[in-house]
Amino acid sequence: MTVFGVILAGGEGRRMGGADKAMLQLDGQALVDIAAARLGPQVARLAISANGDAGRFAPRALPVLPDGTPMGPLSGVLSALLWAAPLGAGAVVSMPVDAPFCPFDLVARLSAPGGAAFAMTDAGAHPACALWPVSLCKTLQDFLASGASPRVRDALTQMGATAVEFPHEADFANFNTPADLAAAQSAQARA
C-alpha cells in the first residue's frame, strides 16, 4: 500500500500566544522541519496541512493543504485524504507539528493492522498520529458534516481504528505551551 504523510500545522497556537507553531524553533530548527525529517522518509509523498499564507512554507517545497472548513485537525486529515486519493495513495499518516519526534517506524507499525490505526503508549492515546485509509474519506466527510464533536479520537473510534502500541512516550512529546518548548530546549542543551 502506498502511504502519504501529512504534518498537521493548521492550529491557531492559542496556548503559544498565537505563535505559528510550525515555525517555532527547537535547537535551531523549525518544528515543521523536524517533523518533515522524521515523517518524510517513511512516506511516498509528504504535505503540510496549514491555513493562512502558504508562502511561509515555500522553502520546504512541500504541498500546503488548507482546510476546506476549519474544524480542527480532522479538517487537515480530510484535506490530506482528498489530496492523496487521486495521486494513488492507499492511506495517509498524520502527525501534529507540535509533536515532531514521531518514531522512525511510525508508518510501518501503523500500517500493520490493515485499517485505520493510531498510536498508543502506556501513558495514553495519541490519536493525531494515525493512519487513515483513503477509502474512509467519505466516512470522515460524513462525520464532520454530522455536527458530531470534531475530536480526532471520536472519528477514529467510529471508524473502528486499532490502537497500536509504541514503547516510548517521549516519541510523542507535545509542545503546547512556551513552557513545554523551553523544557524541550533545555533538555536538548543537556543532551
Q: How confident is the model over 18-34, as pLDDT tens digits?
A: 567 889 888 889 999 99
Query: What is the model's pLDDT at position 191?
Result: 44
Residue 66's identity, in one-letter code, is: P
Tens-place pLDDT, residues 137-185: 999 999 999 887 789 999 999 999 999 999 999 999 888 777 777 766 6
Phi-psi region at 133: left, alpha or beta (left = phi > 0; alpha = psi -120 to 50): beta
Q: How far apart are CA 62 and CA 79, in angstroms?
A: 14
For residue 151, count other CB atoms closer than 10 A to its CB.
13
Query: CA 7 → CA 54, 109, 138, 142, 183, distances in Å?
Result: 14, 18, 21, 23, 23
**Strand spans (E) along 11-135:** 25-26, 29-30, 46-49, 64-65, 91-96, 117-121, 124-133
CA distance 6 to 87: 14
Specify the pLDDT at position 63.
96
Q: What is the pLDDT of residue 184?
A: 67
What does the domain layout of the chain look like in residue ranges? 3-190
pLDDT above 60 for 69: yes
Tell me, what's the pLDDT at 135? 96
| Topology at the third CATH level for domain 3-190 | Spore Coat Polysaccharide Biosynthesis Protein SpsA; Chain A (3.90.550)
pTM score over 0.85: yes
User: C-alpha distances in angstroms, 128 versus 9, 41, 135, 164?
Assistant: 11, 19, 18, 13
Nearest to 162 by CA among 122, 111, 128: 111
At residue 39, the pLDDT reads 97
Average pLDDT over residues 52-70: 89
